[in-house]
Chains A and B, each alone.
Chain A
Amino acid sequence: MKRVGAYVAAGLAALAPVVAFAGTAHAQTFSFTPYQTSRFDAGTPNSSVVVRNHHGVIISYGDSAIMYHAPSSTLDALGQALFLQNCASCHGDQANGIPANGTPGAYPNLIGLGPATIDFWIESGRMPAVDTAAVEAPRRPPRLTHDQALAIAAWVNSLDPSYPYIPSVNLKGANVADGAALFALNCAACHTIEGDGDALARGTYAPSLRNIPATQVAEAIRTGPANMPRFTGNLSDYQVRDIVKYVTTEIQHPRNPGGFGLGGLGPVAEGFVGLLLGVGLLALVGFWVGERQ
């Protein structure tokens, strides 16, 4: 009997890769629309500070590094009006990705993404999109104001309250050296070690970090817009604060003690300068000194 049990166990073990493969195959058939944000529940905030209103609903959570605030529910009505004007033609009037006259499923469902996601996409100027067929929505000057973005985030959040809320980073006491190490480990593989961003596969790219405000850096880390992974469990609020500090100081204002930074392009720019300005200039001097016939 023991032996039979072992055979059954072995058979099940042999089936496991097949099941796993079927599982991955199923996962791969899930189609992402271009602007899809990685979607999973961030869970209940497990923070040292949790603030509830008189209905018992969490309105703020966080710690001394980052506080996350829900946009005020008094903005809901304004947010709905703005959403119908600016967003509903693609995302549908219920923000569920099903427009009144359009292909259902072609556009992202915004329910349950959390106010930080909505705020990030609007305040970075990516939404409302100009070219909805583009592979990547480029960063632009924002078309809606900060308050309007908060209002839209408040209304979408009122449909299905979810996390993360909009972060407010307290940079006091941040450790820029830890931020540099965390940046090299988590961010440089796409955004480059100098923060200039670079092209990824098939027309997507990691954007430059040179002109991004602190709040949006934290929002991007916590929500994972477009191709970016969503960093939730593996980075604490203190670590996110350190990264934000590093990005907003050393990345955005490099000291360049060695002279002109050459655009942060590294050896590509250095090679051109060395060959054209170095060898080229010296060859011209040789041309001047020597005989030309």
Chain B
Amino acid sequence: MSDAVTTRRSRRQSRGPYGRLGSALNELDDRVGVAKGGRSFLDKIFPDHWSFMLGEIALYSFVVVLVTGVFLTLYYVPSQAIVTYHGSYLPLDGTSMTEAYASTVNLSFAVRAGLLMRQMHHWSADIFIGAIVVHMARVFFTGAFRKPRELNWTIGVTLLTLAIVNGFLGYSLPDDLVSGTGIRIAYSIILSVPLVGTYLAFFIFGGNFPGTAVIPRFFILHVLIVPALIVGLVGAHLFLLVRQKHTQFPGEGRTERNVVGSPMFPVFMAKTTGFMLIVAGVTALLGAFAQINPIWQFGPYEAARISYAVQPDWYMAFLDGALRIFPSWSFHSFGYTIPFEVTIPAVVFPGLLFGLAYAWPAIERRVTHDNALHNLLDRPSSRPKRTAAGVAVLAMLSMLFIASSTDVIANFFHVSLNTVLWTMRILVLVSPFVAYPIGYFIAKEIHATRGGGRRKTVNVVQRTASGEYVATPAPAYGDDVASELAPTPVPTFITPPEAVPPTDPGTRTVDR
């Protein structure tokens, strides 16, 4: 018997036990069915190991890049039309420059928080790519790329490539003296591609260097096309991660068939939100206190000008290093020129390097004949050959990275530039062959040692009343047994109480 009289209490009761929000979600669920998927998503288990946070640094610095980048597009003018600067930065007053450069100087000095945003954008781009590389190293050395995750490894390598390309495009946009030199080098690299180089270069630059089309084109690539690809691939990367569930390190209660860790809600959500804010905070601190890319000192780009001691951003440094140290070999015949001194270090070498990265899961499977599904990670020491191969590649890349600052090293340590050049040539060739056996034997030693790679526990020696000495091992470190966390009660609206499995403190186990 319902009558037309509604009271506050009756309305409240009609909304159910979860109030306004609950009834709103119920209404939504009635229409699009969010409960089923949302429930399993809130139940998604994240392993707690710290090395799983490295990819999150990349994800959240990408968020910072996007947010600050949107701010910058409001003030940046992607045009190579020549204007005369009459802004607040006096050392450039009356100088003629492109609109791209003038607008970048203006957004640095005449827009409130503009310089902070620009510096945060640049720092977070540097951190983004750095975190991708560190995350990739973690995935590589623990064998997380093995079946069934080869596809996600491929997406990851593509993301790294796109991030580097977009970093370079963004670095070029201010059209200052240093970045203009970078575009000049990129143009020469494209020219050096055999047979199609000139056509390719003219296609990309809309004619000869520098032209007036390159900045608008780089802009649309930098703010629309490449970021759209990155966002899409990040989505695919995370979708596969949820679909395939996380890998985990072997340990007590951890098998190939389960995942041990914290649920998405509430533990991981709180942790990861905090982490996102910390990433944004560190980037903001760097942006506020550490000056990056002071383009106003460099002045506008003009083809006749050049500055010495110019390096690209760190992620392009291995290419710059390879270009610097390669001998000046070239091929001139049949009316053609192939500049090997550019083609080999800047086209062939990165092609081989990224080709190797893409092919690595297939290469490893061919060698090991291991076709099983792997959800438990390797410790790097238990796969000495893979670890050594990774160390060898990283050693070579580090040497190329250092080779990109030959002039700075020579000047800083007061040695001859030629000596530094030859030293780096030798080190780049020798370092992988030195690093491989070192990595191999260290990994083998750690693997063969009982308790290798873990912290030792101390022995406590006590003297008894009768004068006898007794040595007893101290209990293991709290971190090593992971017992310092109090058990987290699982909210009943996620999992019915009777279904809560007995778990380690602070963690839960779900079947795959």
Where the two chains meet, the residues of A that have a C-beta atom closer than 8 Å to any C-beta of B are 135, 175-181, 184-185, 188-194, 196-203, 205-206, 246, 250, 254, 256-262, 265-268, 270-275, 277-279, 281-283, 285-293
Contacts and interface: CB of A to CB of B under 8 A. Distances in A.
B445 interface: no
User: Which size bracket describes the interface of B in this complex?
Assistant: 35 or more
B256 interface: no
A interface, by DSSP: helix, strand, loop or mixed?
helix
Contacts of A179: 91
Contacts of B309: 192, 194, 196, 198, 265-266
B405 A286 contact: no
Contacts of A259: 119, 288-291
A114 B416 CA distance: 31
Contacts of A191: 308
B290 A286 contact: no
A176 B90 contact: yes
Given A189-B308, A199-B411, A177 B283 contact: no
A203 B289 CA distance: 35
Contacts of A181: 95, 299
Contact of B57 (A188, A189, A258, A286): A286
B221 interface: no
User: A177, A200, A261, A282 — which one has the most chain B CB atoms within 10 A of its CB?
Assistant: A282
Contact of A180 (B92, B289, B416): B92
Contacts of A272: 314
A246 B417 contact: no
Interface stretch (B18-26, B123-131, B330-338): B123-131
B511 interface: no
B290 A273 contact: yes
Interface of B: 47-54, 56-57, 90-95, 108-109, 115, 119, 123, 126-127, 130-131, 134, 177-178, 249, 251, 271, 274-275, 278-279, 282-283, 286, 288-294, 297-299, 302, 304-314, 317, 404-405, 407-408, 410-411, 415-418, 420, 479-482
A286 B50 contact: yes
A197 B91 contact: no
A74 to B, nearest CB: 42
B258 to A, nearest CB: 16
A184 B292 contact: no
A193 B298 contact: yes
B127 A274 contact: yes
User: B290, B405, B418 — which one has the most chain A CB atoms within 10 A of its CB?
Assistant: B290
Contacts of B275: 285-286, 289
A275 B130 contact: yes
Given A205-B411, A262-B290, A291-B49, 19 more contacts: A184-B299, A184-B302, A185-B302, A188-B305, A189-B308, A193-B310, A199-B410, A202-B416, A250-B297, A266-B309, A270-B292, A274-B123, A274-B126, A279-B127, A282-B127, A286-B57, A290-B48, A293-B49, A293-B249
Nearest to B406: A199
B interface, by DSSP: helix, strand, loop or mixed?
helix
Contact of A199 (B279, B297, B417): B417
B53 A286 contact: yes
A290 B304 contact: no
A257 B481 CA distance: 49
A275 to B, nearest CB: 5
Contacts of A176: 90-91
Nearest to A246: B91
Nearest to B301: A184
Contacts of A184: 177, 298-299, 302, 305, 307
A266 B310 contact: yes
13 contacts: A192-B307, A193-B307, A198-B308, A202-B418, A270-B292, A270-B293, A274-B130, A275-B126, A279-B134, A282-B131, A287-B53, A293-B479, A293-B481
A198 B91 contact: no
Contacts of B411: 197-199, 205
Contacts of B134: 279, 283
Nearest to A275: B130
A193 B297 contact: yes
Contacts of B293: 267, 270
A240 B98 CA distance: 26
